[in-house]
Structure 1
Amino acid sequence: MNKNILALAIAGVLSVGLAGCNSSDDTTASATPAPAPTGTALATPTGVAQNEFMVATDFTVPGYTSNLNGSSDTLQTAAVDAAKTQPFGFHKLVATGYVDNGETFGWIKDKDQKGLVFADGSKYICNGTNQGVGSGLDNSSLIKQADGSLRLVAQFECQVGAMYTAGIDQDAVTGALSMKPNTLQFIDQSGEFGGYTHCAGVVTPWGTHLGSEEYEPNARKDGQTGVCQQR
């Protein structure tokens, strides 16, 4: 895969599977608290694979061992008393270069919302393959809105910083997610000083997207070259 792949369903399913709930009003702590799940964090690829979401990591949950392998698309779960294999799977939700609603996902634009192009006329798409100008999609937030609908907010680690948003459809029976046609939009940041090189982000407790910058811009010129420093 060379395109930006969003496997949002993986994180969502894992978080549901590893979380518990307690409907009791009793605030007394349990005498024997359940062991906390342990495991390694989902790895972030580097280099040319930065634009792919590949998962290969082990998780340990009390009473179970599991391996989530992006190449097999299968979550294998072995219980203490019996081996089990649970189909897991994931699918590509969207990739850079996706065209909808007159927009191209990941196309970098200037303050006037004009798409930037290279000397050869090709679009400057932040996909991690343009040498020296960015590493691709860095964060995406899946947000449940007040009316119950889902919306994707994605930000890119390229200069200048770009963000896109789109509606997400969810199958009422299977829960599968898909891009909602005619909803892709470029987020104009020019009124708020724009973006520089977007990095990590998170969905806040209030159901909004919170993004960050990879580093702060530095507009001072280098004393020898006369070129503005990147940071």
Structure 2
Amino acid sequence: MHCQPDYKHEVYIWLKSNQMCLLCDEATHSAATLCNTCEIDLPWLTDGCEVCALPLPISGLVCGQCQRSPPAFRQVVAPWTYGFPLDSLISRFKHQGRWPLGQMLASLLRQCLQDRFDNAELARPDRLLPVPMAAKRLRQRGYNQAAMLARWLSRDLDLPLDEHLLLRPHDTVAQQQLDAKQRQRNLLKAFALAPGAQVQGQHLALVDDVLTTGATAHSMARLLMQAGARQVDVYCLARTPKPGT
């Protein structure tokens, strides 16, 4: 059963027309969906942990948590800190089905990744893997926002996409409701590899919308590394700051 909505025509019309900025309602006079001023004013993540992208005061550091307990993934690429107005854009895409907002954000993430590929700061992965959604939640929402982001990135970066390698056989409590330790317990055995999945020696990149504690990404990366993957990276739109900062 194909649960994903048919958003292609709507997104095409939105992106190909001269239009109003999605944030300030001023004319962009181009096909862009965000004016230059609003793009600059997004909460860009300039200094973050070299591993998990946790916002830090200066660049080039590894946060204490990653030093004490290194995650299974190699590195996180996230253009923004999860804050206003980006949090509203992601929420509207994720919970209200605003596909053009999602494609706009995916396009900006694609530019960030392409720049790092071109400057040899980041190796191109063998495959993109969207974070899977449990069947019950997928039926309720009707789409998986991580899969949509991964499709746009796959198309624009010419990277292979595998939407079926990672499975989420068990529905779990929403991670937003839990603290760090509860998140880790909640994810025990939450993910599985598809029967016959082959990842030996491959460089893989997980795709999601927001990285909070990194527990979900760590759980999947550990599963892939145990199956023989060479490296696992994480591509997401935003990284949440440390609570209280």
Same fold (TM over 0.5): no
Higher relative contact order (CA 8 A, sep 6+): 2
Give the structure with higher Rg (CA): 1
Normalised to the residue count of structure 1, the TM-score between the two structures is 0.25
